[in-house]
Amino acid sequence: MKRATWRKHHKWFGLLFCFFLLMFCLSGIVLNHRTWVSDIQISRRWLPASYRFNRWNNGLLRGTLSYTDSLSRQRIVLLYGVGGIWQTDSLASHFTDFNRGLPESADARAIRQMGQMPDGTLFAVGQFNLFCYDHGSGQWKDCSLPLSPHERLTDLATRGDTLIAVGRSRLYLATPPYATFTPLVLQAPEGYDGRVSLFRTVWQLHSGELFGTAGKFLIDGVALVLILLSLTGILYFLLNKRIKRYNLLLKRGAPPTPLAGRRQRTVSLLRLTRLWHDKLGIYTLVLTLFVSLTGWMLRPPVLLALVYGRVPAIPGTNLSSPNPWNDNLRLLRYDADCHDWILSTADGLYSLASLRSVPARITPAPPISVMGANVFTQDNRGDWLVGSFSGMFRWNRSRGEATDYFTGCPAPEKSGAPFGKRAIAGYSNDFSEGPCLVEYDQGTDAIPMPPTLSTLPMSLWNLCLEIHTGRIYTVLGAGTLVYIFFAGLIVIWILVSGYKVRTRGK
The pLDDT, as a whole number, for residue 131 is 97
The pLDDT, as a whole number, for residue 259 is 65
Over residues 57-65, the mean pLDDT reads 96
Statement: residue 420 has pLDDT above 80:
no
| Relative orientation angle of helices 480-505 and 285-296, to the nearest 10 degrees | 160
Q: What is the pLDDT of residues 373-404, one digit of tens each?
A: 999 999 888 899 999 999 999 999 988 899 99
Q: What's the predicted TM-score (pTM) here?
A: 0.91
Please say whether the beta carbons of 188 and 345 come within 8 A: no
Sequence-distant (≥ 6) Cβ neighbours of residue 326 within 8 angstroms? 169, 318, 319
For 146, other C-beta atoms within 10 Å of its C-beta total: 10
The pLDDT, as a whole number, for residue 417 is 57
Please say whether the beta carbons of 216 and 32 come within 8 A: yes
Q: Chain-wide mean pLDDT for the chain?
A: 91
Nearest residue to 147 (alpha-carbon basis) of 169, 175, 125: 169
Q: In whole angstroms, what is the distance from residue 86 CA to residue 94 CA?
A: 10
Q: Which tops the pLDDT comparison, 471 or 69?
A: 471
Q: What is the pLDDT of residues 13-56, one digit of tens each?
A: 999 999 999 999 999 999 999 989 989 999 999 999 999 999 99
Q: In whole angstroms, what is the distance from residue 174 CA to residue 397 CA?
A: 29
Q: Which tops the pLDDT comparison, 291 or 192?
A: 291
| Residue 344, amino acid | S
